[in-house]
């Protein structure tokens, strides 16, 4: 998605060889118009999959997942992050390391909002090691729902998450793929 690449070049800040700050468009300030365009793009890619619900993890995935769910005309569910060890009985819960916070958090979705009749599209902002995605996939599987695929705004291909998910046979689509952040420069696939 050329427009997104351009925004990343203009407004993204390379924090290190591993981390790209996208606070100006995705993770702190949100550009609603760009979000809706990206939501439309994901909706088009997954339109024939019979999606019944879009699922993401709070908080950075919510805006793009909302845009996608709106375009598909289905509800959005965001997994909540909770730091307690005590899982409530009607909650499906997984423990995942947080890439940016350097801590472990529990993510959870109520059984009330996901069932074996669902065809789920997982949407998220950025994929690095894939821990958040793996946690959510486990929750979806435990609910007995079907995961039709994953839509990710920014894939950092030099980290292993996206390809590990693909190797599980899951369709994972990214809007842009970054192959390196070395030297303070964002390098995209196909550049």
Which residues carry a binding-site annotation for 5-phospho-alpha-D-ribose 1-diphosphate? 128-132
Query: Nearer to ligand 5GP by C-beta: 19 or 87?
Result: 19
CB atoms within 10 A of CB 160: 14
User: Taking a C-beta distance cutoff of 8 angstroms, is the pair 69, 40 a contact?
Assistant: no
| 160-189 binders of ligand 5GP (CB under 6 A) | 161
Question: Count of CB atoms within 10 A of residue 37's CB?
Answer: 16
Q: Which is nearer to ligand 5GP, 59 or 115 (CB)?
A: 59
- Residues 48-107 touching ligand 5GP, rule: CB under 6 A, are 60, 99-100
Residue with tokens 């964002």: 186
Tell me which stretch binds ligand 5GP (CB under 6 A): 19-27, 47-55, 67-75, 115-123: 19-27
- What is the 8-class DSSP label of residue 27? I
Residue 151 is classified by DSSP as E
Phi, then psi, of 110 in degrees rounded to 5: -70, 140
Nearer to ligand 5GP, 39 or 130 (CB): 130
State the nearest-atom distance from the C-beta of 129 to ligand 5GP, in Å: 3
CB of 16 to ligand 5GP, least distance (A): 9
Do 123 and 140 meet the contact criterion of CB atoms below 8 Å apart? no
CB of 6 to ligand 5GP, least distance (A): 18
Tell me, residue by residue from 97 to 136, as one string, x for binding to ligand 5GP by CB under 6 A and - for no binding.
Answer: --xx-----------------------xxxxxxxxxx---
Q: Which of 68, 175, 55 is nearest to 121 (CA)?
A: 55
Confirm or reject binding of residue 21 to ligand 5GP (CB under 6 A).
yes
Binding residues, as ranges, are: 20, 27, 128-132, 156
Count of residues in contact with ligand 5GP, rule CB under 6 A:
19
What secondary structure letter does DSSP report for 148? E
- Report the alpha-carbon angle 72-11-7, nearest 5: 45
Helix (H) / strand (E) containing 172 = strand 172-180
Instruction: Name the residues that contact ligand 5GP, by CB under 6 A.
Output: 19-22, 27, 60, 99-100, 124-133, 161
């Amino acid at each position: 998605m050329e427009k997104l690449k351009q925004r990343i070049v203009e407004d993204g800040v390379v924090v290190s060889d591993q981390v790209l700050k996208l606070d100006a468009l995705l993770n702190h300030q949100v550009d609603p118009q760009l979000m809706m365009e990206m939501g439309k793009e994901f909706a088009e890619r997954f339109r024939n999959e019979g999606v019944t619900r879009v699922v993401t993890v709070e908080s950075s995935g919510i805006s793009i997942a909302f845009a996608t769910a709106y375009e598909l005309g289905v509800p959005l569910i965001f997994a909540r992050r909770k730091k307690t060890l005590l899982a409530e009985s009607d909650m499906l819960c997984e423990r995942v390391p947080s890439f940016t916070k350097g801590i472990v958090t529990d993510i959870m979705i109520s059984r009330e909002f996901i069932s074996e009749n669902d065809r789920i599209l997982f949407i998220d902002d950025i994929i690095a090691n894939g821990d958040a995605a793996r946690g959510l996939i486990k929750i979806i599987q435990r609910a007995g729902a079907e995961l039709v695929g994953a839509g990710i705004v920014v894939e950092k291909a030099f980290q292993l998450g996206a390809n590990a998910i693909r190797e599980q046979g899951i369709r994972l689509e990214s809007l842009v793929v970054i192959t390196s952040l070395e030297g303070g420069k964002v390098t995209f696939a196909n550049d």
